[in-house]
Every structure is written in structure tokens, then in C-alpha cells.
Chains A and B, each alone.
Chain A
Amino acid sequence: MVIRDRTATADDGIQGAVPRLVLEPGTVEEAVGAMARCAADRLAVAFVGGGTMLGLGARPARLDAVIRTGALSRLVDHAPADQVVTAEAGMTLAALNEALALHRQRLPLDVPFSSRATVGGVVAANTFGPRRTRFGGARDLVLGVSLVRADGTPARGGGKVVKNVAGFDLPRLLVGSLGTLALLTTVTFRVHPLPETEVTLLFPGLTPEQVRALASAWRAAQLEPSSAVAVFASDRLDLGVRFEGFATGVADQSARLLELARKSGRAGEQLDADGAAAFWRRHDAVRERGSLRVKIASTPSHLGDLARSWLPSLLGELSPSGAVIYPTLGIAFASGEPASPAGLAAGLRDARQAVGAAGGSLVLEGAPAVIRPVLDPWGPPPPSIDLMRALKQRFDPDRRLAPGRFVGGI
């Protein structure tokens, strides 16, 4: 067995925790071997795909080894007629979508850093983008997984068909588990057809109330956008709404939404290709830049709180700063560079408390080293934390998989 292994450098670290050893399996069998070696040597091990979400979660409490999945990058199987694809965990989203595009299909997970983000990483970190509005997140698209357990045993769950309820749902259980339960080696997804066309409409300079009213109006009118994103622009919101599908339906829905907005006195325009690309770049910049990156999950009816209170209390402590809201999901992201660490920590605490009181959560996706020691990246654990600990105990009784990275110190 040839597993490339080497001595780690600082670049292999996770939030400053540097392992002694880096393993780079090139096949699923080698990944099994790497896990078996970690089990035999009782090594604390974390998994790294493209390394785009290493700021999510806490610094590992122990870290002896890192398994990098980048060389596990093959497309295992694509059945275009069944709209199902299986890829190795280290394949990037961009490479996967390039392969799917040859058959006019795509995996509609429009995640940040898609040229580096890997299939396994996206599942483990539950990363998503604006198209979650229509297509759901990783848990709505994953059908099956192969994994390697902490004890070095390979196993699999789910299947390769879009409909399957046989056995406990290991694939979805691993979504968002951040390497705390098992190493993913392959993932099977349901894929969607590439749309014939797409259109982005821009409604600039709205108040939160106007965004909420417009979203209610298009829902009342039974329009079905594939994405809706409000980008913070000083004290206003620039709302972008995307329709995708066959040309007839897209043209009709776009025209109807512009008309709905016009009736309520809101100006909107259909962006040309360059304009649309520029708008989505503004969104991407917020998701991808800044040493501080925060995700707030709430509900759509809290849009006013998000835009007028929770986000401003953070943005005031960042310079430069940016924020986007996915109004129909009740989710927002903010990012930037801290002006004063003390002020930022206080701002984050205040925002977290307010979000939590409204039933939501505030999670750090990236934070400068000065913030880490004073703020739990996950916030208070949910009431079901005991079950999560029990799950961890079953899957990883020696606490060797990414120990301390997860919620509640798991």
C-alpha cells in the first residue's frame, strides 16, 4: 500500500494546531489503510479536503495526524439517465460540475470557493449557497456515502437510487458532522438538469420591510425563484432574485415579479449577463473574504431583526465589512476585518444572545486568533447535545476524530 505520508508543516495546521503526520491517500483502499493506521497508533486525526472551511468549529483539542483527501479525486460513476453521480470525497465541486455539464447536468450546491471545496468537505461542513432556496442543501441531495469508521473499518449507507429508505440514514447523519463521526470516502448525489436559461433581477435600495413584502408578494403569486439574496449596501439592501429553467417559464416569472414590484412602487431591473455576474460576485465576496466570517440562522420573519439589529451590531465592529441575507431561508452571512477585537467579541456575544432568544443560532465560520479564546464558535449547545455526545461515543469511543472541534466540545 502506498499512502503518501510526510511530516507536517504549519500549512497543514487547523487553527494553529499542527499535526505531526500528514496522510494523503490516493485511493479508497489507501484511505481505509490510513484510518487503520491512525486507529492502531491511537492518533487523533482530522480530515481536510480543500481546506476552505477550516475556520468552522473550534481548534482541535488534540491533533496527531491529518488525512488530506485531495488525491481522492476521481469521478466514480455518473449515470446521466438516472441523474445520479458518485464521486470520491476529494473531488472539487468545480471538477464535478464540469464533468456533469458534459451531460447538461449539475449538482446545485453553489458553495463558496467551489474551485477548491471538495465533495466530502461540502458534506462534512454542510456548506451551501443561494440555490439552497430551490434545491435544498447537501442533506437534500445526498443519496449515499462510503465511509471509514474510527476503528478503520469501511462501511456504507444509503444507496445509488433517488428513493431508498432501507436502514438508518448514515448519509444525512454525516452532513454537517465535521469529521467527528467518520471519514467520507465517496458520496453519491442526486443531480439536476442544467437550466436552459437563467435571469437575475435586481431590486436596489430596499428596506428590510420592503424585502419582506416583496418576498411575500412573489410567494402569494406562486412564483418560484431558485435564489434570493439581499446584499447589504450601507443602510439599504440590494435584492437579487434569480429564476432558472426553460426560457418560457423564466421570462414569464421575471416579467411578473418586475410587475409585482412596480405595483408597490419598487424599481427593479433585469440584469444582463455582466450585471448578473457582478451582483453574484458581490455576494461571493461576503461569503469568501474576511478573517471574520459569521453565519446566522433564524427564520424569514426575523428579517427586520437581522437587518436592523443583529447584523449592524456586528458590522459596526468590522472594517471593511459585508453581509448578505437569504430572506426566504432566514439565513445571513457577515464577514470582514475586526476594527477592535474587544468590541467585536462583545458585538458577537450580543448578536448571539439576541439570535438565540429568537430560536436561531450564530456560528463562526472563520475568526481571527484573538477572538477564538473568548468566544465559542458554536454558541450554547442545543438541548439535544446529550444525544450528540452519545452518538460520538458510539462512533468514536476514544475521541480521536477531530476531538474538540464540534458543538459542546465534541
Chain B
Amino acid sequence: MSGRASVTELAGRLSAVVGARNCYTSASELLTYECDGLTHGRTRPDVVVLPGSTEEVAEVVRLARAAGRPIVPRGSGTGLSGGARPVPGSVVVALSRMRRILEVNLEDGWIRVEPGVINLDVTRHVSAAGYYYAPDPSSQSICSIGGNVAFNSGGAHCLKYGFTVNHVLGARVVLHDGRVVDIGGPALDTPGHDLLAALVGSEGMVGIVTEVTLRLLRKPEATRTFFATFPSTDEGGEAVSRIIAAGILPAAIEMMDRLAIVAAKAATGLDWPDVGAALLMDADGPTAEVEDLSARAVQIARDAGALELRLPRNEAERQLMWKGRKSAFAAVGRISPNYMVEDGVIPRSEIAPVLREIESMAKEQGLRVANVFHAGDGNLHPLVLYDAREQGQEERAEQLGGDILRMCVRRGGSITGEHGVGSEKAAYMADMFGPDDLETMKWVRAAFDPDGCFNPGKVFPSSRLCGEKPGPGGVEHPAVRSGEVQRW
């Protein structure tokens, strides 16, 4: 391997592969790629390339490796955990030009797409025929399938339908040495290890996906939605518990607390009442079944102390209710100059005590927290509100966010339900997993990417924090040996 090439030399070689207009090196062009949806951590890459095909991705990987550069894959950049944040000296490989839909087979229920295809466009492509792609992250109108695969994206409806990992049948992957390998395919149960399980959710650390085969589902015949308000999240949480205990599997069941409701109202102009908690539930499936389920759930909500129940009279009203829920993150901007989105998970039966604990933790820090959450699966999105202009508030907000995640782990939950670990939460992994657990996970990564050239610095806490030992056959990255990059 030759010595590290200069940025200009490397860019010249990469341009020869992808075309000069698809290779960025100027500061103004690189600015967009300094961070993902987590905007408060920024690192400028040296080069950004936008390949147009699997072959181009493979060649880009070979060139970047030969130049001793870390490679950071990137989809739409909507991630909220800093998973697409570049590292110094890196080459960002953005897949946004690869957005072709390659093949559809409705009878067998699958679609093969390139990684830059937008999540919602998959559903749009097959919607007229009555099919859809189930994982529906809130960012589905802008996030890419490649990013969804990297982060095992969920969404409001994953309680019933599962995550990306349950809907990926196959993938074409460019490995660290530029080899291209196909994993899985439309037929189930490819003999051998479940490499798709290793790939989906690997946060860009094992390779670059250039084609994905996704499962398509037949649309449910009917969806019934209701909106219920409660004096507090205690009664709301109780309603959720009783609905689940009754054997009802909602397609989605979402809750917002008082502050989140205030924010959503301010942003959307919805005529939601001023209450302590609001619940939004979807049931879907065959019509008779759904009407039965929905009626049972409504009765349960009433018995659990609902103040008011609203059933949408038509699809437009239903969409409006969901708009209120989906806009809640951004809406918080109306009631606070700055906010941080957290993504903790707790056992769902502990929702009420956890929310009280979050409230008292917030009080201690002198901050406010708005809570929006997927109540059915215990996935909380506490929005920590702060004002960056106030001395020390941002630090206190970060402290509070971290304390909330650690509390989730203490209660048997997780530091991330759907946003991923990325660079932001890598430090908390050691709260959830021991050194041996993390080392075992690193073996999986190392089987794909022995030198750790893809997306370094994500998921795993730095060696200082977790007492990392090199795994069997572990090879140190050339950049570590040369002192260019710290061991991640």
C-alpha cells in the first residue's frame, strides 16, 4: 500500500470513477456532509463521492482504502444519532444518486431497489396495486432505504409489523476490499448464517449496500383510528396496558404528554384540548376484525378514565390526527429555542413511573422535557428543551438526556429503540453491555471489515471506556498504526 495520497490526488482518482461533478472537495460543498440529523456534532470530511452504480461504489472503496482513508457511507442524512457523521480525513460515500427501483414481484411480495430510494417512494411505487412497505420512520418522505437498512429503522407501526430487519430479504454489499457479495434473496431461509441479521442495523460499519430486496405487504383492508385524552399520563399509560392485556395488537399506539400536546397544537393549529396526555391508536386488518378491536379499545380507554374520545369521520381527519403526532418533534421548536431528541426504551408496563421519574429528573436540572412515545413498545422520545444562549443549559440538557438513557437501562430497557447508537450514544453502550458483550459484537463487524475502515467511531465506546481488547485475529487499522486516527 502506498503512503497516504493527498486530497487532490485522491479526488482526481475518484473523479475518474464517478465523474468530476459527483466528487466534492470544496468547503462549501462539504458543508452539507459535516453532520446528519444530529446537527450539534460536526466533522468535515476530506472528500464526498456520489457513485452511480455498484461497480462505482466498489472502485471508490478500493481507491479510498488504497489511500488509507476511512469510509463513511451516507443515505439521506436524516439520522438522529450522528451515525453518518464523518471522521477526520474520511471519504463520505453518499448513495443519493443510486435511486432506481430495479424489479418488482407482487405475487412473491418483494421489490428490489437501490439504496438511495426514498422509503415512501417504495410504497408509492406499489400503492396502486394495493401493496406497501411496512417500516415507516417519521422521516419516511426523505429518508433512504440504505439508511433504513443501516439503522434497522422502525416507525410508529413496528409494534405490529416489525422493523427493517423483518422486511429485508436480500442485499448486495460492497465489502472493504471492493468485493461485491449477494446475501439472501427472495426465497426464504438461505442456508448458512443469517448475515442479513448482521448487516441490518450495523450502522454502516460492515460494508456499503448497493441493492436491497424488500418484502412488500398487502395493504390492510381497513384502518380504524381513535384519539383519546386523559387527565395525566398515568391514566393514559393504564389505558395502553389494559388494551394490550386484552389481547389487542394495535398497528400503532402513540402517546404525548401535556408539553408535547401544547407544542403540536402550536405548530399545526389542531383544536386539541389542553390535557395531561393524549393517546392515538391505529388498528388495522380485515374490516370486521378491526371494527371489533377498535370498539373494544375505545371502551377500554373510556374505562381507564379517558376525558374525551374522538373518532375521525374520514381519512382527511385521520391524517390530521397523525399530522399532529408526527409533527411533534419539530413542533417543540415553537415552545423552546433548542431541544434534544432522546430515544430510550423501557418495559411498557413502567411508562407511568418512568414519566414521573423523568419529570423529577428534569426539575432537578431546571429544565423541561416534552414526551412523545410509541407507548405500545415502550419506546420513549423525551424531548429535552433548553436555551443554548443561557450559560450551562446545553450541558445540563446533555446531562439530563444521558441520565434518562441510563435510567432506561436500569429499568431493563435500551438506550435506543430506533435512532441507533451512532456517535452520540456510543459512550452509553457500556452502560447497557459489558466488555465481553461488546467484544463479541466487534467480532461480527470484524468478520466483514477486519480493518474497521467503514464508519469508524460509531456504536462502540472508545477503548478507554470499555477496556477493549483486540479480538482473535484482530488487525489494527493502518491509520491507527500511523497515529493518524485514534483506536475507536
Contacts and interface: CB of A to CB of B under 8 A. Distances in A.
Contact of B193 (A166, A297, A329, A391): A391
Contacts of A273: none
Contacts of A300: 107-109
Given A165-B163, A166-B429, A382-B190, A299 B436 contact: no
B200 interface: yes
B448 interface: yes
Given A330-B187, A397-B472, A248 B349 contact: no
A140 B166 contact: yes
Contacts of A99: none
Nearest to A164: B414
B414 A166 contact: yes
Contact of B187 (A160, A165, A219, A299): A299
Interface stretch (A42-50, A170-178, A261-269): A170-178
Contact of B289 (A177, A245, A378): A245
Contact of A181 (B151, B193, B288, B459): B193
Interface in A159-199: 159-173, 175-177, 180-181, 192-196
Interface string A300-323: 110000000000000000000000
Given A172-B165, A394-B473, A82 B447 contact: no
A408 interface: yes
Contact of B421 (A166, A194, A224): A166
Interface in A235-272: 245-246, 248-253, 256
Nearest to B434: A155
A381 B440 contact: no
Given A165-B420, A245-B289, A329-B188, A173 B194 contact: yes
**Size class of the contact patch on chain B:** 35 or more
Interface string B95-122: 0000000000101110000000000000
| Top 10 A-B pairs, shortest CB-CB distance | A249-B289, A172-B197, A193-B247, A252-B288, A222-B221, A81-B349, A394-B443, A168-B441, A164-B414, A390-B447
For B151, B188, B288, B439, the residue with the greatest tally of chain A CB atoms inside 10 Å of its CB is B188
B219 A359 contact: no
Nearest to B187: A360
Interface size class, chain A: 35 or more
A154 B436 contact: yes
Contacts of A176: 189, 192-194
Given A176-B194, A381-B191, A224 B286 contact: yes
B354 interface: no
A121 B337 CA distance: 54
Nearest to A297: B189
A392 B107 CA distance: 36
A301 B194 contact: no
Given A82-B349, A173-B444, A194-B247, A387 B195 contact: yes
A216 interface: yes
B258 interface: no
Nearest to B247: A193
30 contacts: A79-B349, A81-B245, A83-B244, A140-B166, A155-B439, A161-B377, A165-B163, A165-B421, A166-B414, A168-B441, A168-B445, A176-B194, A222-B219, A248-B288, A249-B285, A299-B187, A331-B188, A363-B191, A379-B191, A382-B182, A382-B183, A382-B191, A386-B181, A387-B448, A388-B195, A391-B193, A394-B471, A397-B472, A407-B192, A407-B193
Contacts of B187: 297-299, 330, 358-361
Given A331-B188, A379-B191, A161 B346 contact: yes
Contact of B182 (A155, A175, A245, A384): A384
Nearest to B444: A168
A175 B443 CA distance: 17
Given A139-B166, A163-B417, 13 more contacts: A81-B347, A82-B378, A147-B440, A155-B436, A166-B433, A168-B441, A173-B198, A252-B288, A298-B187, A359-B185, A359-B187, A392-B193, A393-B473
A384 B288 contact: no
B193 A170 contact: no
B305 to A, nearest CB: 18
Nearest to B293: A246
Contacts of B346: 161
Nearest to A381: B192
Contacts, number: 282
Interface in A106-165: 126, 136, 139-140, 147, 149, 153-157, 159-165
Contacts of A410: 192
A139 B189 CA distance: 11
A119 B234 CA distance: 36
A193 B243 CA distance: 12
Interface string B390-434: 000000000000000000000011111111110001000100111
B159 interface: yes
B438 interface: yes
Interface in A368-409: 378-379, 381-388, 390-395, 397, 406-408
A223 interface: yes
B366 to A, nearest CB: 29
A104 interface: yes
A252 B286 contact: yes
Interface in A194-238: 194-196, 216, 219-224
B374 to A, nearest CB: 7
A84 interface: yes
Nearest to A249: B289
B139 interface: no
